[in-house]
Amino acid sequence: MTAGPRAPFGERLTAAVGTRGPLCAGIDPHASLLEQWGLSVDAKGLERFAMTCAEAFAGEVAIVKPQSAFFEAHGSAGVAVLEKLIASFLDSGTLVLADVKRGDIGSTMAAYAQAYLGEGSPLAADAVTVSPYLGFGSLDPALALAERNERGLFVLALTSNKEGPQVQRARSEEGVVVAQTMVDEAAAHNEGAAPLGSVGLVIGATVGRTELDLSRLNGPILAPGFGAQGAGVDDLAKVFGDHLPHVLPASSRDILRHGPDVTALRDAALRVRDAVAAQARQLS
């Protein structure tokens, strides 16, 4: 996303959170939200929605998370809007996490990585979400390109959807929970990084207490499910405990429902950010 030399993603994220607080503002242009904002459910309405979010959030929050599926649903015109949205945050101080959840093998994974992590790609973001459930090693092309270009990955570990436990909470022959394996693999990539590694995890804010040992992670944690999906500040403390300072609660609908007024959108995001920051300070 940013041209020229850059610091590692973990370092840039730490600086952004230090300046703008712990919040990942989701940009999820559901058809129902477009209608709620009085916009047409087409590429034109999508662009108005996206650019309004950019105006509200750029320079104000640490990181934003556009959900690519809602852009892709509009075909090539929607992808063009996603490209424009990513570019609009360039040099704003707000990072972009493209929520693409890609996961494949070999040359296919390499192509996905080039699209979202490659220099010169119009879709290249500061970080992306990826799925390791073809085996953590299937992420190697993305891990290598992210490291080379100082970008980041957020690896699905323990998600809040009801189907997730079937795989994520299963145990290996050694008795290790699958999600813990993902934590340990991410930790190995972050070892020695300062102030924070660039390989993060996705752990749902609504999963409740877990058996996960996060002590060696040395990376950020994206916590979707905050706000409209049911998790509050107290839930974050229960799930993440001492690791809360490295957690990025992701909130979308609770913020986006305040649109299309730019000031109302911005104020809603900052209220959420400040509430999380206050809780984190109590634990530190």
Catalytic residue (choose from 44, 65, 84, 101):
101
Tokens of 151: 């970008």
Binning the chain into helix, strand and coil, the percentages to the nearest 5 are: 45, 15, 35
Would residue 101 show up in a list of annotated catalytic residues for this protein?
A: yes
- What would the DSSP string read from start to end of 231-284? B-HHHHHHHHGGGGGGEEEEE-HHHHTTTT-HHHHHHHHHHHHHHHHHHHHHH-
Enumerate the β-bridge partners of residue 25: 64, 251
Tell me the C-alpha distance between 45 and 62, whole Å. 26
Distances (CA, A) of 110 to 103, 143, 275: 10, 10, 39
Tokens of 235: 């839930």
Amino acid at 254: D
Residues with catalytic annotation? Answer: 101
